[in-house]
């Protein structure tokens, strides 16, 4: 045991250059894998953030709309039915639309998600500064961190919204009453208005005179553990609706699943290349050391010692590379502005790092097995 670590350490130390090279390759692969992970995470949350953070458990869509927020329509009367279902605590209408923000200093217009919510109901984001939306039709809005970062707005500021109706552009000045954390929806920073105001402003226009129609309704349950049961109950009691939990809803967002699987495929292939490179390196090392290993076995070192020596080296070099790569990636991503969709959360980073630590053992298996097979007879220039 101590013999193996002694030899492993000496060999790595006295061949620093060679081992540093392979550690550097591992470090680069680590950077790549972590970046892809961070990008996947960043894009995913840029897409689903609003839905993920909703203060409710279930989303109600119009039936037969494939959980598409843009195709779905939920009217006021249906919301009233939803409210009557036993076990439903609260229901809020939510409407999605897009608009542009005109920066006060005349920079580029910013595409935003313009979201209508019912004040005080599920769907309205919690503010960390300022106030929630008032129960009114007022021109008050809450903006998310994406908007704050791009415009530098504060509570009390006016923001100018531009919507295009047909060929006409219309401008609306709205007062920021509250700030909320990142609540992007479909890759766009979000502005939240009372749903009546939203209905008046949104690009495709409301239905004047008719009932207030939103895209979906968000339901807060009296007992959040009853998601499955309540989903079935609501679908049974309310006509023409389809109910989904949050995860199902965001996975149905356009392109979400395709994008995530593309990125995880890339991640897997980068990882796989890492395994091959590390495996190839140690395999070449092993082939070059046949005579030396034969000699060591002849003079009395056990197979176990020889195998453990190689394995320890692989672990050391692998861990070193991953540590350097991970530290580098963390340092890099820490300085990215919020507008870049690179998010390295503790969980994704940890999962990726653990996987990367397996590169060495996976790649090195072949070379360790080859080492174990070398016969001590080699020391005499013989083989059986």
Ligand X SMILES: Nc1ncnc2c1ncn2[C@@H]1O[C@H](COP(=O)(O)OP(=O)(O)O)[C@@H](O)[C@H]1O
Binding site for ligand X (CB under 6 A): 382, 384
Tell me the CA distances in angstroms from 102 to 37, 144, 171, 325, one per residue in order. 33, 16, 9, 40
372 binds other proteins (CB under 8 A): no
Min separation Cβ 283 and other proteins, Å = 19
245 neighbors 65 (Cβ within 8 angstroms): no
- For the chain, how big is the Rg over CA atoms in Å? 29
Binding other proteins by CB under 8 A: which of 303, 338, 348, 365? 303
Min separation Cβ 292 and other proteins, Å = 6
CA–CA separation, 124 vs 86, rounded Å? 23
What one-character-per-residue DSSP string does 326-337 give?
A: HHHHHHHHHTS-
32 neighbors 266 (Cβ within 8 angstroms): no
Min separation Cβ 376 and ligand X, Å = 14
Residue 64: contacted member of other proteins, ligand X, none (CB under 5 to 8 Å, by partner type): none
At 260 the three-state DSSP class reads helix
20 binds other proteins (CB under 8 A): no
Tell me the CA distances in angstroms from 342 to 34, 44, 59, 247, 380, one per residue in order. 10, 10, 28, 21, 58
191 neighbors 112 (Cβ within 8 angstroms): yes
295 binds other proteins (CB under 8 A): yes
What one-character-per-residue DSSP string does 50-111 give?
A: HHHT-SSSEEEEETTSTT-TTT--EEHHHHHHHHHSTTEEEEEEEEEEEEEEE-TT----EE
| Beta carbon nearer to ligand X, 208 or 381 | 381
284 binds other proteins (CB under 8 A): no
208 binds other proteins (CB under 8 A): no
3 binds other proteins (CB under 8 A): yes
298 binds other proteins (CB under 8 A): yes
| Beta carbon nearer to ligand X, 64 or 384 | 384
Binding region for other proteins (CB under 8 A) out of 97-105, 171-179, 182-190, 292-300:
292-300
| Beta carbon nearer to other proteins, 250 or 282 | 282
233, 192, 182: which is closest to 94 by C-alpha?
192
| Beta carbon nearer to ligand X, 182 or 378 | 378
3-state secondary structure labels for all residues of 158-217: EEEEEEEECCEEEEEEEEEEEECCCCCECCECEEEEEHHHHHHHCCCCCCCCCCCEECEE
Residue 377: contacted member of ligand X, other proteins, none (CB under 5 to 8 Å, by partner type): other proteins
| Beta carbon nearer to other proteins, 12 or 67 | 12
For residue 125, give both structure tokens.
Answer: 């984001």
Residue 10: contacted member of other proteins, ligand X, none (CB under 5 to 8 Å, by partner type): other proteins
Q: Is 382 exposed, middle or buried (0-12, 13-18, 19+ CB in 10 A)?
A: exposed
382 binds other proteins (CB under 8 A): yes
379 binds other proteins (CB under 8 A): yes
Binding other proteins by CB under 8 A: which of 301, 319, 338, 365? 301
Considering only residues 314-333, where is the footprint of other proteins by CB under 8 A?
none
| Beta carbon nearer to other proteins, 4 or 37 | 4
Q: How far is CA 358 from the centre of its chain?
A: 22
18 binds other proteins (CB under 8 A): no
CA–CA separation, 307 vs 369, rounded Å? 8
x/- track of binding to other proteins for residues 243-282 (CB under 8 A): ----------------------------------------
Residue nearest to ligand X (CB): 384
CA–CA separation, 82 vs 59, rounded Å? 11
66 binds other proteins (CB under 8 A): no
Residues of the shown chain interacting with other proteins in the complex, contacts defined by CB under 8 A? 3, 6-7, 10-11, 14-15, 291-292, 294-303, 376-377, 379-382, 384
């Amino acid at each position: 045991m101590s013999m193996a670590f002694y030899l492993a350490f000496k060999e790595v130390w006295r061949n620093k250059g060679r081992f540093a090279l392979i550690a550097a390759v591992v470090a680069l692969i680590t950077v790549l894998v972590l970046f892809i992970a961070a990008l996947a995470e960043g894009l995913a949350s840029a897409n689903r953030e609003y839905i993920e953070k909703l203060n409710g458990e279930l989303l109600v869509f119009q039936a037969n709309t494939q959980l598409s927020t843009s195709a779905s329509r939920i009217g006021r009367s249906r919301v009233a039915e939803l409210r009557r279902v036993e076990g439903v605590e609260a229901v809020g209408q939510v409407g999605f639309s897009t608009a542009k923000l005109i920066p006060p200093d005349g920079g580029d217009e910013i595409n935003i998600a313009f979201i209508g919510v019912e004040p005080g109901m599920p769907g309205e984001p919690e503010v960390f500064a300022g106030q929630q939306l008032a129960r009114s039709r007022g021109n008050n809005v809450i903006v998310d961190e994406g908007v704050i970062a791009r415009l530098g707005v504060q509570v009390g500021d006016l923001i100018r919204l531009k919507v295009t109706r047909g060929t006409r552009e219309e401008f609306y000045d709205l007062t920021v009453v509250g700030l909320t954390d990142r609540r992007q929806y479909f890759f766009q920073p979000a502005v939240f208005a009372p749903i009546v105001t939203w209905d008046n402003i949104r690009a495709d226009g409301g239905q004047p005179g008719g009932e207030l129609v939103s895209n979906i309704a968000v339901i807060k349950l009296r007992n959040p553990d009853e998601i499955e049961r309540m989903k079935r109950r609501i679908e049974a009691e309310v006509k023409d609706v389809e109910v989904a939990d949050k995860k199902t809803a965001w996975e149905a967002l356009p392109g979400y699943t395709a994008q995530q699987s593309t990125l995880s495929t890339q991640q897997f292939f980068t990882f796989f290349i890492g395994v091959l490179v590390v495996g190839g390196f140690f395999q070449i090392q092993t082939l070059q050391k046949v005579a030396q290993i034969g000699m060591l076995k002849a003079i009395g070192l056990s197979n176990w010692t020889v195998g453990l020596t190689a394995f320890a080296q692989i672990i050391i070099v692998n861990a070193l590379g991953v540590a350097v790569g991970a530290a580098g990636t963390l340092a890099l991503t820490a300085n990215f502005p919020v507008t870049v969709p690179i998010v390295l959360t503790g969980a994704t980073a940890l999962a990726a790092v653990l996987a990367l630590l397996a590169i060495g053992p996976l790649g090195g298996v072949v070379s360790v097995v080859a080492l174990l097979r070398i016969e001590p007879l080699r020391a005499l220039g013989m083989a059986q």
